[in-house]
Amino acid sequence: MTALRPEREDLYGGGSPYEPSAGARPHPHGRPAGQPADPPTAPLPPLPDGPRTARPPRAAEGPAPARTPREPLTAPLPRITDGPRTARLPRITDEPLTAPLPRIGDEPPAAPFPPVDDETMALRVVPDRAEAGRTGEPLRASGAAPGAAATPVTPGGRAARRKAAKRRGGRRTPTPPPAARDPQRPLTRVEARRQARLRKPSPATLASRAIGELFITTGVLMLLFVTYQLWWTNVRAHAQAGNATHRLQDDWASGKRSPGVFEPGQGFAILHIPKLDVVAPIAEGISNKRVLDKGMVGHYGEAPLKTAMPQDRTGNFGLAAHRNTHGEPFRYINRLTPGDAVVVETQDTYFVYRVTSTLPVTSPSNVSVLDPVPPGSGFTRPGRYITLTTCTPEFTSKYRLIVWGKMVQERPRAKGKPDALIE
């Protein structure tokens, strides 16, 4: 099909690839130099004149007409070498490259734009757009060095920047922490003043410290006071009451004491309440300092609240003691019920009483509970009675709790303890 090739310049140095010109190198894909080209085997018929029309349809009947043989070509086609010769085009590999092309990875990456987290800073930075457009360099702040990193600026005015910040959710890029200071470098005057201010506590800090120390001190003092009242006073009163009981029993055994009139604060009897496991000395008077605070039971023996003694033929033997703190001998007398025994031991005799009634609450000024025949006790005539008084409710002295009893037995100590103390 070489006859259908159009006329063109020889791209391989001129001449036909089958008949090279003088001095030309043989083509690597052509015929050997000096070998003539093969003639065409059969000439092509000439093209018909006039415009080409559609082929008429073939008749449905009859045999196909015989084909007319094509006439051979009378003149050969012009060869492509008949045109003017042009200069040979240089081959790509004839001359080596003088310098290698730069690789994409060899160029240093451009510095990224630093984030702008301050709106006022973005307003102050004005990029030199005209210079950037002429030179092709990235935008940079006016007056900045050519190699300095560019600062991005949101296009538009302040309103546009605010809208962009709202779209970002109002979050700003956190400012990186300042670099650590070199410990070898001396402090400047400003840094020294700043550190001195940080070390110096503020007035509010000093006031809060003082108030905190005051509260702590008050709390410690209150704790110590409660410990003293609820624990130490009982320890000391129990020790004092026990010593007084032992001295009184020793004096009775040695005969140093004799029945009669006793001085205020002087012990003369011992109170036993078996149900409550109470054993406490009884002293004359109801003074807190001389009697009650020492863990002893006081006898109403001074005017105007003077009551009878156990050995009297008739009368009301009135006693008082602490319910809380200072030995608290009467703390649980509210648990006494009618029939419980209360024994008063003297130098010569045991006096046994039985509880008859209780008055849970009464006023501290109700001194009628100490009468020879106390109202509300159930007694209707004179007799030998006992009255126990203490404070109520616990840990307060707002009211008084009263317990009454009636003597049922008088037993000499020489005959031994009564049954109420043996049971």
Q: Which residues are known to be catalytic?
A: 322, 391, 400
Q: Which one, of 274, 323, 305, 417, lies nearest residue 371 by Cα?
A: 305
Write the burial class of residue 355 (CB in 10 Å: 0-12 exposed, 13-18 middle, 19+ buried). buried
Who contacts 37 (Cβ-Cβ below 8 Å, separation ≥6)?
Answer: 16, 18, 19, 31
Q: Say how far apart CA 174 and CA 262 lie, in whole Å.
A: 91
Task: Judge if the upstream peptide bond of residue 393 is cis by omega within 30 degrees of 0.
Answer: yes
Please provide the distance, in angstroms rounded to a whole number, between the alpha carbons at the two ends of the chain.
148
Residue 365 · residue 346 · CB < 8 Å? no
Q: Say how far apart CA 91 and CA 238 lie, in whole Å.
A: 127
β-pair type (297-299, 278-284): parallel
Q: Say how far apart CA 313 and CA 318 lie, in whole Å.
A: 15
Distances (CA, A) of 109 to 112, 113, 143, 145, 173: 9, 12, 23, 18, 23
Q: Say how far apart CA 222 and CA 227 lie, in whole Å.
A: 8
Q: What is the CA radius of gyration of the chain?
A: 66
Who contacts 34 (Cβ-Cβ below 8 Å, separation ≥6)?
Answer: 20
Who contacts 234 (Cβ-Cβ below 8 Å, separation ≥6)?
Answer: 295, 325, 326, 327, 328
